[in-house]
Amino acid sequence: MHKAKSPNLSQIKHIVVVASGKGGVGKSTTAVNLALALHRLGGKVGLFDADIYGPSQPLMLGVAGARPRIAEGNQMEPITAHGITCNSVGFLVDDSQAMVWRGPMVVGAFNQILNDTRWGALDFLIIDMPPGTGDIQLSLAQSVPVTGAVIVTTPQDVALLDAKRGIEMFRKVQVPILGVVENMSLHTCSQCGHSEHIFGAGGAERIAKAYEVEVLGSLPLDARIRAQCDAGTPAVAADPQGQIASIYLQIATRVRDQLAGGAPSTAPRIEVVDD
């Protein structure tokens, strides 16, 4: 299928998907913090919550219950939060409503929200994908000129296996892999200070080496990340100078540099390791 930009996508320089092979690995948290970090780096950024069955960005951005303004021609004006624009099926349905839709309905909703939103001129549109390698992923790859994909995983073997499937799927549809983000890489006890790789260690490094892609960054298993998103102020917005925000800024810098065609950033890599 020819990848022609719709009018509402024509002013977007880069469309980046954030994807995972399975749920529960922190994909949406990565997507929102990546979007906010790219904004902090000076970019004009939009965020499209494409997780039709489980939209979470309205809550994470602190705008749950908002509704996009409907403009002429049934076009939607995106919601603005923390300096970025966003649209999501979560703005359009009640948060207690179950999305009992078959594949074609999901793909139709995805395409309509994406193409009927007045995104305007953006440097980056981050798309928070649903987990897996199904209808929406294929529809997106076939119809939208995606610049690249960020794959999110944890060190757990089952998550790594699904991450590999995600990388293979995007490669088959010729979407470049920008790199891998590893969440929950290390947990440090807040009481005693003991650090432990609860879900294993080195998984993202092994995938990156096998597929010749970059590890964009590693995030700890830290309750603050969850609490900040639940409060509507993700880490990059809640604590811009903190360690977690710094890791997301590193990830955003590497993504930006790859999309610009430049060399990887020479900034120091921030990782959480045992002492």
Query: What pLDDT score was predicted for residue 101?
Result: 60
In this structure, the number of other CB atoms found within 10 A of the CB of residue 63 comes to 19
Looking at residue 234, what is its pLDDT? 97
pLDDT at 263: 43
CB 58 within 8 A of CB 91: yes
| Rounded CA separation 134/197 (Å) | 31
Q: CATH number of 11-258: 3.30.540.10, 3.40.190.10, 3.40.109.10, 3.40.50.300?
A: 3.40.50.300
Beta-strand runs (E) in the chain = 12-19, 45-49, 69-71, 75-77, 79-81, 84-88, 122-128, 148-153, 177-182, 187-188, 195-196, 215-218
Length of the chain: 275
- The two tokens of residue 141 are 């790859």
List Cβ<8 Å contacts ≥24 apart for 257-261.
Answer: 258/148, 258/178, 258/179, 258/214, 259/14, 259/16, 259/124, 259/147, 259/148, 259/178
Assess contact for 163 and 180: CB atoms under 8 A: yes
- According to the model, what pLDDT value does residue 273 have? 43
pLDDT by position in tens, the chain (length 275): 445 568 999 999 999 999 987 788 899 999 999 999 999 999 999 999 998 878 999 999 999 999 999 988 889 999 999 999 999 989 987 666 655 566 677 788 888 999 999 999 999 999 999 887 777 777 777 778 899 999 998 887 777 788 888 888 888 888 999 999 998 876 566 667 656 655 556 667 888 888 888 999 999 888 899 999 999 999 999 999 999 999 999 999 999 999 987 444 433 344 444 44
Under 8 Å between Cβ of 34 and 28 = no
Residues 249 and 269: their CA atoms lie apart, in Å, by: 11
Question: What is the pLDDT, as a whole number, of residue 272?
Answer: 45
> By the 8 A CB rule, do 151 and 159 touch?
no
Q: Which among 151, 92, 122 has a CA at the least distance from the CA of 14?
A: 122
Rg of the chain taking only CA atoms, in angstroms: 18
Identify which of 10, 23, 8 has the alpha carbon closest to the alpha carbon of residue 72. Answer: 8
Domain assignments of the chain as residue spans, ordered by start: 11-258
